[in-house]
Structure 1
Amino acid sequence: MVDSAKNSATEEKKTDFEYKHPLDHLFYARNVTIVGASPNPNFGAGFFLSAFRHSSYSNPVYLINPKYVGKLKDIRGYPIFASISDIPGELDYVICGIKAKLVPDLIRDCVAKKVKYVCIFTSGFSELLTAESKAAEQELVNIIKGSQTRLIGPNCLGALCTKSGITYDPVYSRCEGNVAFASQSGGIANNLCEIQQMHSLYYSKGISFGNQIDLNCLDLLEYYAQDPDTKIIGMYLESTGSADGNAFFSLMRKVTRKKPVVIWKGGQTEFGARAAASHTGAIAGSLKIWKNAVIQAGGTFVTKSHEFWDVLHLFSRLIPKERLPKGKNVGFIVAGGGASVELTDTFSTSGFQIPELQPEIQDKLNEIYPSVNTSVKNPVDTGAMGMFIDNIIKSIKWMDTDPNLDIIAFFMPLNWLSQLERHGAVGYTTSVARSLWRMNKKLTKTFFIICPIFQMSEFNAKISLQFKEVLWKKFIPHFENIIGAATALNHAIRYSEYLQTQT
């Protein structure tokens, strides 16, 4: 339960954080004010109240709702005020959860109070595609002209920062990652929080900025570029909003020399563009123009959610260790002929080469694996002997000496690990993961694991998360399926090739 004493209106918590950039006052806000909050935790602004109650945010949180002033002392431990002007001191971050017709007056109050950032959760503006709704949105822009107040949205969820505890989602992970995202879609911003454990994708910062009438993708790209906690930038965009498109891609060209920028473009078809317009009021633009502009700026262009997640995950593990692939020659090790065929076919049709291992390496592998139901050429099909992790590690170390390989992939269904754990080998999963980490530290080539779950159960899910947690902490990329791995690796190779042209 929230301690109302530490959230009192008179207590402004001191912080050692040094505010160097204007957006620091958003992501490291000294206080948060939720307008329209009520005792109902599952409705409107109550959504944010639930999020902050479950977050690590420790600075003051104020609530605005004149309906409850004099009736309730607080709501869930947070003090209630009638208006913005009633709160003493400077305000950094205001979240607006009231009806659209009331928003202009709130923004005027925020301008008068010199509030730094207002997240307009409220919808009902240009995404309605009516003249009246577009005029209402323009009115908000006019109100803040010449002021110190910046608007996020409308029709959005606002900011997330794992280090400060600023959030919009009660289930976000507090694990600090190196990926920063920006999303025009609130739903996609929510999904990015909800898939964290399963996809080992953790964030430094994030934002849902909806219609982008003021704060936009250009602002966020510039901020993330200078943020020391951010090594990878991902954006879901339906348009550039209020940003100048040329300026956005010009800045991207500078940023990608130091950090990968992954762009997922929404509204790729005629029908998708129509959906984007009614979603965020976005004029989607030509897919071909967008793709060419992103690629020419050194960015990574993706078209689907899983592709977005996989590429961000891969970059987040490879970039810090400078382990980007140097080429497209792949060596596979797998227990099972069928899986080895699928791996070979999928990667081959994705533009990879699967060269035979050098004869001396095949000779060493033949010392481990029997001649029946196995193969040591590439893919290395270990048969049942692949159940022993020591054999796998020896094999991978030998494969790492092959000058014709750039990448090594290990295919291991997590059901194998769960079977051994279920039969008494407690801790075997994390032991295997740590053994792979110790091996990976000494490898010279890019290494990753494909670890699907073929039989879903509560026990297998638990084992999967334990395995993936260790891999993530030890910077070993992993994927749930073969095509996702091939697609992500292709993007990483293109980015590696781009970096070579910039030196």
Structure 2
Amino acid sequence: MTEHPYEHEVKALLAEAGVPVPRGVVVRGDDFLAARELAGPLVLKAFGPGLTHKSEAGAVALGLAYEELGPVAAGMRERLEPAGFLVEEQAAPGVELIVGLVRDPAFGPVLLTGLGGVWTEALRDTALRLCPVAEPDARRMLASLRGAALLDGWRGGPPVDVDAVVKLLMAVGGPGGLWERLELGEFELNPVIAGPSGVIAVDARHLPAGSAPAPAAGPSRETGFLPLFEPRAVAVVGASTSRPNFGNMFLGFYRDAGVPLVAVHPTAAEVAGVPAVPSLAHPGVDVDYALVAVPAERCAEVLREAGGVPFVQVMSGGFGEAGRPDLEEELVAAARAAGTRLLGPNCMGVYCPQGRQTFVGGGLGPPGTIALISQSGGLAGEVIKVGERRGLAFSRVVTLGNAADVTPAELLRWLARDEATRAVGLYLEDPRDGRDLPAALHAVLRDAGKPVVLLVGGRSGQGRRAASSHTGGLVSDRRVWEAVAEQSGAALVTGQDDLIGVLAYFQAHGARLTSGDQVLVVGPSGGAGVLAADAFDRAGVRLDPLPAERLDALRGLGVVATGNPLEVPVGPLGRAALVAEVIDALAGPYRDVVAHVNVQSFFTYGSAPEPLYACTRALAGAQAAHPGVRISLVTRNGECAPEGVEDEVARIAAAAGIPVYRTMEAAAVAVAAGGRHGVA
């Protein structure tokens, strides 16, 4: 096969893989006699160097009779100087699709399909999955297209043989498919014509990669990460006796947490009251975790002395992220020579109340069941402090920075087995081990049954280089991450507040997470209900009508509205237990009930907070009475409450396992995430 294989060479490969292609012949000279046996109408295609996009170059002619091949080819020769011609039987019309492969720099081969032909660029109606795909993935890809109705038959047209389309997708992107045998680059079939009797790939293009392919996922190193989170003792390298720095700050955090501690200083006997030794190699140093806060040029030297220390965190920056990959490579080599695992560099460290591990001030929160893996230390600190303010309790939080050694996928696999963790949040920018990340997510979500919420930074950047084929241009960072979430079942969110909100939902309702679509929204104000319906629609959550057989029960409560969202008079002058009574009457079909109150009304038309507290306590009682229903509370306009009121409402709700949100949008994202868990 040539360096840039011609279409007929690619189609020969397709035929070997069982992909239907048109019957055709290759003609190198002027004699088209071999094409006489082909059934017309015929297609003539010129091929040669530079003829990647044949239609734009005028290198394709359709609907020809055998006698027309010679004259049309002569005209193409005058304009194009081709190496030869491909003559094929013209396929019958049908639904035109695109099927393609492209190698993502982080995740490796990605399969794409969608509406093809002239619609590819006009509509960009496509779906992506990471290879290898399973048959359910292929079917969901087709069902997700905006033009999916075309496959079922449109305006009297015959339906497409969807099974044949799925078989084609599996031949390209499934286990043992072409993605494993091709050097990607890019690979594109556009169009594939699908009809009632099958599919046929009428155009094919393969552009091999110009650089080495992304490495395949390697085996997990199966590190035991417990000492990372619950170290017996900690060393801090880099605290100063004269000019306080980050090392001194962390020394203070650890001292306040009460963890056994030693400072590393070249000359001092103690630093800020903490005993000091000259190096990590000093006799008697017996720690599980060392934090290094010295200039980047000195970090590798420190790691070379860290033999016997299971984990070393390099807080210092100035490595690959600052244009010094050489320093980062030296750091990794030093860690491996010392037999230690490297966290970072350019990271803040670990937070684990159970193990007295911390990188944030203000003391340790309560131990909990929520884990967080973050490539940003600053964002992780915000999630910890804001999350604890909203009732989150953490089991393990780890920041990775450049993730030069310890990677997100490794940690995910360990968290899947960690009994202290019940749900996981991720903030990632560069997954580092992208080929292994989907399998690690599977271990957490499928094997361990623990929900995951994923926040990705940098999805809306410049994207990737302009591609020679449509496929490369249709793949973007954002869409690949969406494919990762779709295939794994992780909830993908777009902001820090939603990351915290979804984790709060998982913490409250983790034991009750089951798939399903039935959601009820109930509370005061018709306008708020309409806006709630919009918010849930944007989040992809369906609000079905109320069951007709339950409407009499509502009328018995004095509720005459029948919509969903359901409007009920909740406020300072209403019955505190009314929403709970509605839940009693309607809860049976619903997996989620989102109750909302207008906090402002409680203090505009009343002054004491007790009616609001009573309403919250009634919801708590309803949650206890209906353990199979997941109740969430939205306190709209909560800033209108006197100081301390929101905290007390949150305390009452949290004690009952009810998450509290300040906006309907935040609740909708969380409920959507809960409905996704276990569905993919």
Question: Is TM (by shorter chain) over 0.5?
Answer: yes
- Post-superposition offset of 1:417: 5.9
- Aligned residue runs from structure 1 range 279-428, under 5 A: 286-320=477-511, 322-327=512-517, 329-359=518-548, 361-369=550-558, 375-383=561-569, 387-401=574-588, 403=589, 405-415=590-600, 423=608, 425=610
Residue in structure 2 matched with residue 63 of structure 1 by the alignment: 263
Alignment TM-score, normalising by the size of structure 2:
0.60
Over aligned residue pairs, what C-alpha RMSD do you find?
A: 2.9
Residue identity over aligned pairs, in percent, reads 23
- Post-superposition offset of 1:184: 0.6
Q: Deviations over 1:47-92 (max 9, x none)?
A: 212322443xx3311112235x15xx551x4223332233614221
Alpha-carbon distance in 1 for matches of 2:455, 2:540: 22
Alpha-carbon distance in 2 for matches of 1:483, 1:47: 38
Residue in structure 1 matched with residue 668 of structure 2 by the alignment: 486
Find the residue that maps to 2:435 and give its secondary structure: helix
Residue in structure 2 matched with residue 435 of structure 1 by the alignment: 618
The change in CA–CA distance for 1:159 and 1:370 in structure 2 (over 3 A counts) is closer
Alpha-carbon distance in 1 for matches of 2:603, 2:387: 21
Paired amino acid for 1:438: G
Residue in structure 2 matched with residue 281 of structure 1 by the alignment: none
The change in CA–CA distance for 1:294 and 1:392 in structure 2 (over 3 A counts) is closer
Structure number with bigger Rg: 2
- Post-superposition offset of 1:430: 5.5
Alpha-carbon distance in 2 for matches of 1:194, 1:39: 30
Residue in structure 1 matched with residue 279 of structure 2 by the alignment: 83
The change in CA–CA distance for 1:469 and 1:41 in structure 2 (over 3 A counts) is farther
Find the residue that maps to 1:383 and give its secondary structure: coil
Alpha-carbon distance in 1 for matches of 2:347, 2:514: 35
Residue in structure 2 matched with residue 279 of structure 1 by the alignment: none
- Post-superposition offset of 1:463: 1.7
Q: Deviations over 1:87-127 (max 9, x none)?
A: 6142211001111122121111113xx21111101111111
Find the residue that maps to 2:372 and give its secondary structure: strand
Paired amino acid for 1:407: D
8 Å Cα contact 1:200/1:472 also seen in 2: yes
Are 1:43 and 2:245 an aligned pair? yes
Paired amino acid for 1:394: E
Paired amino acid for 1:408: V
8 Å Cα contact 1:266/1:272 also seen in 2: no
Residue in structure 1 matched with residue 320 of structure 2 by the alignment: 126
Residue in structure 2 matched with residue 109 of structure 1 by the alignment: 305
Counterpart of 1:470 (choices 646, 652, 671) is: 652
Alpha-carbon distance in 1 for matches of 2:603, 2:418: 40
Alpha-carbon distance in 2 for matches of 1:231, 1:349: 28
Are 1:219 and 2:410 an aligned pair? yes
Alpha-carbon distance in 1 for matches of 2:244, 2:532: 45
The change in CA–CA distance for 1:38 and 1:325 in structure 2 (over 3 A counts) is same
Find the residue that maps to 2:424 and give its secondary structure: strand
- Post-superposition offset of 1:225: 0.8
Are 1:33 and 2:224 an aligned pair? no
Residue in structure 2 matched with residue 10 of structure 1 by the alignment: none
Residue in structure 1 matched with residue 629 of structure 2 by the alignment: 445
Residue in structure 2 matched with residue 167 of structure 1 by the alignment: 358
- Post-superposition offset of 1:468: 1.6
The change in CA–CA distance for 1:354 and 1:53 in structure 2 (over 3 A counts) is same
Q: Deviations over 1:301-342 (max 9, x none)?
A: 22322222222221222222x243521x33222122221221
Count of residue pairs brought into register by the alignment? 445
Alpha-carbon distance in 2 for matches of 1:434, 1:39: 54
Alpha-carbon distance in 1 for matches of 2:548, 2:319: 67
Give the structure with the larger strand fraction. 2
8 Å Cα contact 1:418/1:429 also seen in 2: no
Structure 1: unaligned runs, 5 residues or longer: 1-19, 275-284, 499-503
Alignment TM-score, normalising by the size of structure 1:
0.80
The change in CA–CA distance for 1:43 and 1:49 in structure 2 (over 3 A counts) is same
Find the residue that maps to 2:298 and give its secondary structure: helix
The change in CA–CA distance for 1:494 and 1:40 in structure 2 (over 3 A counts) is farther
Moved more, 385-394 or 29-38: 385-394
Residue in structure 2 matched with residue 184 of structure 1 by the alignment: 375
Paired amino acid for 1:306: D
Give the structure with the larger helix fraction. 1
- Post-superposition offset of 1:183: 0.6
